[in-house]
Amino acid sequence: MNRMQTIGVVFLRVAVAAMMVIHGVTRLRNGTVGEFGEFLTQNHIPTGAAFAWVLTGMEIVGGLTLAAGFLVVWLCAWFAVQLVVGIVLVHYKQGWFVVGAGTGGMEYSVLLIAGFLSVALTHWPQKREWWQPKH
């Protein structure tokens, strides 16, 4: 990757990570982690209350870790899966649009998933083939 491509990927990585941090911090500030846990329990997620705290913590700590450039592929995968589950449980029923032609839809989540997968792919470890010399 050249310098400008690297800057672009870093910008995207920090932006999508910031969205997750903001999401978790807002849930904490609003005191809605418990409500989120109840929602998870109602949707057959075992130990919904504990899992709500895990998800909130991952959004904050994992988001900051991702923004700093650590565990990039793993955290991008985690957040992409988390967003897919959010689409299945919430946003799919609301349709595509977040605002405008509808509300609460999945377009924002799909865009974040694309961002996370793009960042993960640019950080994917390069596998050296058996015939290539070690440097």
pLDDT at 29 exceeding the cut of 70:
yes
pLDDT value, residue 126:
80
In the block, residue with structure tokens 């694309």: 114
Query: pLDDT tens, 92-134?
Result: 999 999 999 989 999 999 999 999 999 999 999 887 666 655 5
- Give the predicted TM-score (pTM) of the model: 0.91
Question: Rounded to whole angstroms, how far apart are CA atoms 77 and 117?
Answer: 7
Buried b (16+ CB within 10 A) or exposed e, 68-97: eeeebeebbebbbebbeebbeeebeeeeee
Among 21, 22, 23, 17, CA closest to 115: 17
